[in-house]
Structure 1
Amino acid sequence: MKKRFNTTGPCISKKHYMVSIENKLKEVETLIDQGDYFVINRPRQYGKTTLLSQITKKCNDKYLIIRTSFEGIGDSIFENEKVFSSGFLKLISDMLNFTYTEKAKEIEKLSYGVENLQMLSNVITEFIRNSDKPVVLLIDEVDKASNNQLFLSFLGMLRNKYILANDDMDYTFHSVILAGVHDIKNLKLKLRPNEEKKYNSPWNIAVNFDVDMTFNPLEIETMLKDYTKEENIKMDTVDISEKIYFYTSGYPFLVSKLSQIMDRNFKNSWDLNNIDKAVKILLNERNTLFDSLIKNLDNNKEFRNFIEKIVLSGEEIVYVPSDRLISLGELYGFIKQKNNRCKIHNRIFEQYIYNHLTAIKARESENISSYNFREKFLTSDNGLDFEKILLNYQRFMKEQYSNKDEKFIEHHGRLLFLAFIKPIINGIGFDFKEVQVSQEKRLDVVVTYNKHKYISELKIWHGEEYHKDGIKQLCDYLNIHSMNKGYLVIYNFNKNKEYKYEKIYVENKEIFIIYV
C-alpha cells in the first residue's frame, strides 16, 4: 500500500508518512515505568490518539496494555453504577479479545453480577492480582464523560485503589493514562449527592504531563526524508522543515496538512515559495480544526475580545496560567507562552483568525466596495499601485469614518485597513501580518500580489520623536526583506489633524505616508 500524508484520525506507520516521535515516546515510557498516573490534555487534532497508539506498540512486551475509548459510547452507560460497571468491563473485554482471548474470558467471568463501583473495584483487584505482567489502562476521549458525576466517582475509586496499592493493601493498574482536551485534574467532585461541587479533584494523584507534543524542525524532517525516499523526490529537507515549522510552530495537524497540500499541488517542486502558496491554499480551506477555532471565538465575546487584543493590536499580555481567559486560550489551542507573554500558537492560526475578523469588519463597513474595486489599482506589470490603494483608503476613512470617535478608530482602524485590502488581493495576492510592538503599537502588513511584495506599517501618532523611531524601524524591516520602498498609514487623533500624504527618503528607502 502506498503511503500518504494523513490528517484524519490517528496516523499508522505502514499507511502514513509520520514524524518520528521517538523522543516523546521515551518520555511517556518513563512515566509509565515509574507507575505514574497522568492526563494527556491537549487541543483537538494534536496527535493524542496517535501517541496512545504508538506507546501501546512500544510498551506492549513488558506491560498488559488495556486501551479503550469513550468515543461513541453514548450517555446511557452512565445511567447508574451497575450499567457503568458492566459497560466498562465490556469495553475492556472487547479490547482484550483481539489479542488476549483468555484474558478477555477472565474479565467476562469476573464481571458476572457486578452491581456497583465497589464490585467493579474487586474485579479490577482480582484481574490484576492474576496478571503475569503489570497492567496499564489507557482511556481516550475522556471528555465525553468528564462532566458526569458517575465517571468522577469512578476516578475517585481508582484514586483510592492507587493509594491503597502503594501501602500494599490492594492491587490496581500500574499506570493509568487519560487523554482528552480538558485537564481531568481540575474537575470538581461532589462529596455527597446534595452537596455543592467543590475543588476536590478525584484525580489529584496524577503527575503533570509536560511532554512537548509539537514537532520541532528535526522531527518534521524525519517525515520528509521518508517521503522523499518513497516518492523518489528531491528537496532540501532542512530548509523545508524549517519553513513548515515557521508557519505551524509544529502543531501536528497543520504540519501534516501543509505536507498534504504540497504533495497534492506541488509534488515535484517542494521549495520555499511553494510552501507560501500551500499556506495560502490552507487558509482558504475549511476543516474541522478551523471550524472549531471560529466556533470557540464567536461563542464567547469576552474571549474574542481577548484574542483580538493579541491578533489585531499586538498587545503584550503577561502570561498568567491561572487567568481564566488564558487557560481557555490554551485549552482551545489558540495561545502559547513565549517569554512570559501570551502569543497566538502559530502563524497560520493568527492569519486565519485575522482573516475571519477582517471579513466580518468588511461586511459591517459602509460602502467599502465602492472604494476598493480591484481593477482600479492594477499595474501593467501584474502588480498593484499601492500608493493609489492607500489614497483611496484615506478617502474612505475621511468620508465614512471622520465622525467616529477616537476610541472606535483606535480599536477598529487596523481591522478596517485589513478589510479594505482583502478584496483587492483576494484570489491572487496574499497578505500576511507581522506584529512588532513598540510604543507606537506598530502593525506590519506584508502583501504579496503575483511576484510583487508591498510592506506597509500602521501606527498611531504619538508625536514627532516616536514618528522618527517608527520610520527607522520600518527601514530596518525593509532591509530584512531586501526592499527599498515601504508604506505608512498613520492614525492621528489630534482635533486639528489634516488628511494628507507625503513621500520621504530615509536611508536610501522611499517611504509613502498617508495620515487618517
Structure 2
Amino acid sequence: MEIVSYERGVRFNLRQALISELTTYGVIGKGPDGMCQILNPIYHYCILQAFKPEINGLERDYLPEDTDFLDYLMPTGQINMELLLDNFRDFIARVGFRILQVPDTPKEFVGQDLLYAYFDQFVSLIRGVMYLEVQTGRGRMDLVIFHNGQKYIVETKIWEGHRRYQAGKAQLAAYLKLERAVAGYYVVFDHRAKPEPRVETETIDGLTTRSYVIPVVQEAPSQQIQDST
C-alpha cells in the first residue's frame, strides 16, 4: 500500500523479502528513478479493489437529510461536480472518527476508497459509467466518469507536501489537455495531525481545475485523550 498510495514510493531493494516476492510474481518492478512501481495498471486496480469492502457502513451518511443524489444533476443533464464534491468533503467531516471503522481498509487509503464508493453509488443511480485509471506505477489515480455525452475527470492523491500538491495541479491540467476536457477536479487527502483544509478554483490556459484538500481523522477521540494524558 505504500507503493500504491504514495507518490514518493518505496526504494526498490531485492534484498527486502516482500519486494523480492512481489518482483518474483511480476507485480512490481524497478522504476527509472530506482523506486518500486506497479508494472501493470490492471494490477494496481486489482490491489485497490482487494482492499475495498463491499459495504463500508457509511453509505447512509453520504447525503444530508432531505437530499438525493439526483439533486446533483443539472436541468441540462450535466453533473454538478462542484456541489457533488463539496458534499463529499462535508460527508468526511460529518462521519469524523467513524472513517476509521471502515472494515479491512488501510487508513492511508480510506479517503480514496470512500470517494470511489461514493461516486460508484452516484454513477449507478444516474446510469453513467465510471473508470479508474492509474497514470503512473504509484501514488496517483484518476476517476473518469462518462454521463450524457460528458466526461468528468477527478484525480486523487494523498498529501505529500506543498510541492507535490502544486505539481499535481500541473499534472491534472496536462491530462485535461490530452483528453480535450475543459475542467478537472483534484482531491487530496490530508492525513497529518494538523491538516490544512482548502478549496481552490483556478483557470490556466482555458482549463479549469478545482482542488480540494480534505482532512482525514487519524485517531478516535478516546485514543487522542489517552495520548494527551
TM norm. shorter chain > 0.5: yes
Query: Of residues 182, 185, 188 in structure 2, which corresponds to 1:490?
Result: 188
1:320 to 2, 9, 13: 13
Tell me whether 1:430 sits opposite 2:136 in the alignment.
no
Match of 1:420 in 2: 118
TM-score, normalised with respect to structure 1: 0.33
Partner residue, 1:363: 55
Question: Which residue pairs with 1:295 in the alignment?
Answer: none
Indicate the residue corresponding to 1:14 in structure 2. none
- The answer for the alignment partner of 1:443 in structure 2 is 140
Q: Is the CA contact 2:199–2:213 (under 8 Å) kept in the aligned structure 1?
A: yes
Q: Which amino acid aligns with 1:484?
A: V
Correspondent of 1:390 among 66, 85, 90: 85
SS of corresponding position for 2:51: helix
Q: Is the 8 A contact 1:501 1:513 kept in 2?
A: yes
Contact 1:485-1:510 within 8 A present in 2 as well? yes
CA contact (8 A) 2:9 2:35 kept: yes
Distance in 1 (alpha carbons) for counterparts of 2:195 and 2:39 = 41
Q: What per-residue deviation string (whole Å, max 9, x for no partner) do you get for residues 237-256 of structure 1?
A: xxxxxxxxxxxxxxxxxxxx
Q: CA RMSD in A?
A: 3.4
**Other-structure match for 1:458:** 156
- Cα distance in structure 1, aligned partners of 2:41 and 2:169: 25
Q: Per the alignment, in what secondary structure is the counterpart of residue 384 of structure 1?
A: coil
In 1: Cα distance, 2:5 partner to 2:161 partner: 19
CA 1:380/1:404 → structure 2, altered by over 3 Å: closer, same or farther? closer
Q: Answer 1 or 2: higher relative contact order, Cα 8 Å, separation at least 6.
A: 2
Aligned 8 A contact 2:156 2:186 in 1: yes
- 1:476-502 CA distance string (max 9 Å, x none): 22222222211122334474745x534
- The secondary structure found in structure 1 opposite 2:114 is helix
In structure 2, the partner of 1:16 is none
- Taking structure 1 as reference, are residues 508 and 424 closer, same or farther at Cα in structure 2, changes over 3 Å only? same
Tell whether the 8 Å contact from 1:442 to 1:457 is kept in structure 2 after alignment: no
What does residue 93 of structure 1 align with? none
**Residue 392 of structure 1: how far off its partner (Å):** 1.4
Higher strand share: 2
How has the CA–CA distance of structure 1 residues 442 and 478 changed in structure 2, closer, same or farther, with 3 Å as cutoff?
A: farther
After superposition, residues 133-148 of structure 1 pair within 5 angstroms as none
User: Take 1:508 and 1:375, find their aligned partners in 2: how far apart are those partners?
Assistant: 29
Q: Can you give the 5+ residue segments of structure 2 that lack an aligned partner in the other structure?
A: 101-105, 215-229
Q: Which has the higher helix share?
A: 1
How far apart in 2 are the matches of 1:312 and 1:485?
24
Number of residue pairs the alignment of both structures matches:
199
Task: Tell whether the 8 Å contact from 2:5 to 2:139 is kept in structure 1 after alignment.
Answer: no
Contact 2:3 2:9 in 1 (8 A): yes
Task: Report the AA paired with residue 367 of structure 1.
Answer: L
Percent identical: 20
Could you state the TM-score of these two structures normalised by the residue count of structure 2?
A: 0.68
Aligned equivalent of 2:223: none
